[in-house]
Amino acid sequence: MLKQLFIVPVELCLINKNTECNNHLWCSLFIPRVPVDWAHVSRLSPSEELELTFALKQQNVHQLEETLRLVSDPDSAQYGKYLSLEEVASLVRPSELTQKVVHHWLQSHGVTNCLTVHTQDFMQCTMSREVAEMLLPGSKFHRYIKDGHSLVRSSSPYSVHDDVHQHLDFVGGLHRFPPNRQDLSKAKKSSGKHTHLKAWLHLGVTPAILRQRYNLTAADVGSAQNNSQAVAQFLEQYYHPADLAEFMSMFGSSFKHMSKVDRVVGTQGGGKAGLEASLDVEYIMSTGANISTWVFTNPGRHESQEPFLQWMVLLSNMSDLPHVHTISYGDDEDSLSAAYMMRINTEFMKAGVRGISLLFASVCRNHANAMWRLFPPSPFVTTVGGTSFKNPFKVTYEVTDYISGGGFSNIFKMPDYQASAVDSYLKAVAASLPPQTYFNTSGRAYPDMAALSDNYWVVSNRVPIPWVSGTSASTPVVGGMLALINDQRLLKGLPALGFLNPRLYKLKGQALFDVTEGCHLGCLDEQVQGKGFCAAPSWDPVTGWGTPNYPALLAALLK
């Protein structure tokens, strides 16, 4: 959708196990910086309440990873034998000692208003500013405002006692500010009149164009009763039911579909609909047509709450979840702590062993002297890049969309399932790669696959809007197709696809349209001059294995 995604704030107040502050206190690594566009309003009064999230150390993380490998590998006897939420909780639940230490620490400071999750590895506690600053020495909570939105954050690092630090991964709700939304899309509003729009239907991507390109027929719609799909929305991005109904009336007449979201988890805000949220809902429901759809909307219940973290907590506390989740979310890996990302990586594993497919948009942004690295580049999610038609006004073959994100993680090592494919790419295009100092050839490479991401039609605030672009568009499209494949698997008594990547890479490009032309944006410096990675035959770090040929992909994944 947008040339840059709406980026969610992520907390990274992490405990430094190596640096002693003083008298048995251990400091956070993160030195908070207040962005210049967030205006300081006031220091919180001592009695004002805020909410903090405590991520307790988990057990058996290596066993969890091995379980995910087995249930996701089609060559394994354990393939598709997913765990229940209760089984996941039994595996990773923090030790009795960890729970006892953290609970005693909180209670000794008078913190008793806490909620936990089924897996008992997150606690969300409400306390006054005075208590929070005693609990976390060094923290100082202030209120900031930007564009009418208020946020409570600490302006300084915090510490915890050394008896506690070994039992926590991080504390959420202190430092992280939302990165700027940089709307680089070319979306333009039409007159809103349907008669005017008809002349432009061939001048942009609609559900009909997607179905034509990816070979979906009118019969390719959902029918299984136990199937569902979901999108997650952040930063006060909301869809409007009236927009969805209007979109389906305009673009959904050729296939059976639903015009209402079945379930909203969270609170839909008022005001205008968000273009991001409208796009996500309209295209997952028109591609994964006639499939029950949930919307997770996470504005945060309090100024100090962090929306993405709240979504992760929800996944740890709900036994019945959709099989496919798409997230148009991205942040800069270099701006986050490794310890925070490792914990979120574990949360993705917890979802995968339950048979949940998580799809994230692969975002592109410019940096000087280093290729921008997406978060989350987790080995346990499927990342989706973007393409455009060779001829933007005809249904032709696809080329790289320059906004498609791709590259290599500096935090997560390359998983075994992709090592051969990535090695082949690096050898084949060695002469044209950016300098090796710009990327980590041993890191997790992404994206894994792609879809059209350019020139979409969206209805938002009852107005048809053309030329909306970004991997925020391609991700729900791929998610909808995976939900359709799940539908057919469930009708045959097969388990849901779950974590897709091990099976996707075993296909070696079978059932996908290979994208071999174009490059994405790279670093804006004299040596690289904006050129990033380029597409090539088979897998590449711009479009992954390519875009879906739905009937062939369905046949391959029904085996």
Say if strands 292-298 and 228-234 run parallel, antiparallel, or are unpaired.
Answer: parallel
Q: Pull the structure tokens for residue 174.
A: 């202190």
Q: Give the Cα separation of 479 and 474 in Å (integer).
A: 9
CB of 547 within 8 A of CB of 451? yes
Q: Which value, to the nearest 10 degrees, does the dihedral of the CA atoms of residues 173, 177, 318, 224 take?
A: 180
Tokens of 487: 């539908």
Output the furthest CA–CA distance in the chain (Å, rounded).
73
Centre a 10 Å sphere on the Cβ of residue 43 and count the other Cβ atoms it contains. Answer: 13
CA 66 to chain centroid, in Å, comes to 23
Burial 184-223 (b: 16+ CB within 10 A, else e): ebebeeeeeeeeebeeeeeebbbbbbbbebbebeeebbbe
State the Cα torsion 169-13-443-78 to the nearest 10°: 30
d(CA 457, CA 107): 53
Alpha helices in 73-156 (DSSP H): 85-92, 96-108, 129-135
Identify the three-state secondary structure at position 507.
Answer: helix
The CA distance from 400 to 541, in Å, is 11
For 427, the 3-state DSSP assignment is helix
- Which helix (H) or strand (E) segment holds residue 39: the answer is strand 39-43
Which helix (H) or strand (E) covers residue 122, if one does? strand 122-128
Catalytic residues: 276, 280, 472
Residues 6 or more apart in contact with residue 96 via CB below 8 angstroms: none
* Beta carbons within 10 angstroms of residue 435's beta carbon: 11
* 350 neighbors 59 (Cβ within 8 angstroms): no
Tokens at 474, concatenated: 């391609």
Judge whether 261 and 249 are in contact, CB under 8 Å. no
